[in-house]
């Protein structure tokens, strides 16, 4: 069995550079052969990249999340372009909309989101999309601006009807530990019915910890629990599910599963 964690905030799990490398090594012991490192801004990205660039199973996304809309950083667009020139930097993100926390205002969030979608399209990269309480606007914007390489709706939280509309676009849907929660029936329905070839999996660590680890800070090494739940939900073996999700991850992010980027 092998898994690809498509969304992990390694820098938020632990600030210590040595501990970050231990998190990656620990995940490898759990057969997690790929991790996509996510940062909320370009300032943090370069520090995390420098620390983890020797970890060959770690890939990176670079972007500005809606939480940073009031302070995206100086020359943030050129900094994203600079980051995307580095080895194993495979996506723009995370970016998107978050109306729950009320970061800035809706117009400023939408402008930041659209700018990164256009940048990703110009640079031929996929996009990692954040959506919290902003589903209608996220989908409407993607219908108009989705990059040619597509997008992933990370930590999916909408219902099956929404997923069906999203899947009309070149979109993948990623499930985190919250799919294992007993009351997450909308996620259960979506994960059970959606095409397996468009599904991804993520830890979203240190957040969205799987059910059996509630109360803890999440880690990529907990990802197999989410995989087991999804396999049971779909009535297939863990091996079949994990291999399909691994291949999906490599295909979406443009990674050669045998040789890396």
**What count of other Cβ atoms lies within 10 Å of the Cβ of residue 60?**
23
| pLDDT single digits (tens) 191-200 | 999 999 999 9
> What global pTM score does this model have?
0.96
Cα dihedral 229, 234, 236, 240 sign: negative
Average pLDDT, whole number, for the chain? 96
pLDDT band of 259, cuts 50, 70, 90: low
Q: How many CB atoms lie within 10 A of CB 148?
A: 11
Domains plus CATH for the chain?
A: 3-253 (3.20.20.140)
Tell me if 73 sits within 8 A of 43, measured CB to CB.
yes
pLDDT at 246: 97
pLDDT of amino acid 258: 74
Annotated binding site: 7, 9, 94, 130, 154
Mean pLDDT of 199-220: 96
The stretch 250-261 carries a mean pLDDT of: 81
For residue 199, give the 3-state DSSP assignment. Answer: strand
Residues 14 and 208 sit within 8 Å (Cβ to Cβ): no
CA distances to 28, 50, 126, 234 from 261, in Å: 18, 17, 15, 31
Annotated binding site for a divalent metal cation: 7, 9, 94, 130, 154
pLDDT tens for 116-138 read: 999 999 999 999 999 999 999 99
Task: State mean pLDDT over 230-237.
Answer: 98
Summarised one tens digit per residue, pLDDT across range 51-66 is 999 999 999 999 999 9
**Residue 1 pLDDT level (bands cut at 50, 70, 90):** confident
Per-residue pLDDT at 105 exceeds 60: yes
Side-chain-side CA neighbours of residue 189 (13 Å):
12
Tokens describing residue 158? 């909408």
State yes or no: pLDDT of 260 exceeds 60: no
Q: Which residues pair with 118 in a beta bridge?
A: none
Task: Give the Cβ contact number of residue 85 at 10 Å.
Answer: 8
């Amino acid at each position: 069995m092998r898994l690809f964690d498509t969304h992990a905030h390694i820098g938020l799990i632990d600030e210590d550079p040595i501990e970050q490398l231990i998190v990656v090594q620990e995940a490898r012991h759990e057969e997690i052969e790929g991790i996509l490192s996510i940062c909320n801004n370009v300032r943090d990205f370069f520090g995390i990249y420098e620390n983890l660039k020797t970890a060959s199973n770690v890939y990176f996304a670079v972007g500005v999340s809606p939480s940073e809309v009031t302070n995206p950083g100086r020359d943030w667009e050129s900094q994203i372009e600079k980051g995307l020139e580095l080895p194993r930097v495979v996506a723009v993100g995370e970016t998107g909309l978050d109306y729950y926390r009320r970061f800035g205002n809706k117009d400023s969030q939408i402008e930041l989101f659209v700018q990164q979608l256009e940048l990703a399209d110009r640079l031929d990269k996929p996009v990692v999309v954040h959506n919290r309480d902003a589903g209608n606007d996220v989908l409407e914007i993607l219908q108009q601006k989705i990059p040619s390489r597509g997008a992933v709706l990370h930590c999916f939280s909408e219902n099956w009807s929404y997923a069906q509309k999203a899947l009309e676009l070149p979109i993948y849907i990623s499930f985190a530990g919250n799919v294992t929660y007993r009351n997450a029936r909308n996620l259960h329905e979506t994960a059970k019915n959606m095409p397996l070839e468009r599904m991804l999996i993520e830890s979203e660590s240190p957040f969205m910890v799987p059910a059996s680890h509630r109360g803890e800070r999440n880690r990529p090494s907990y990802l197999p629990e989410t995989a087991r739940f999804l396999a049971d939900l779909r009535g297939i073996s863990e091996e079949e599910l994990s291999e399909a999700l691994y291949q999906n991850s490599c295909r979406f992010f443009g990674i050669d599963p045998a040789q890396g980027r």
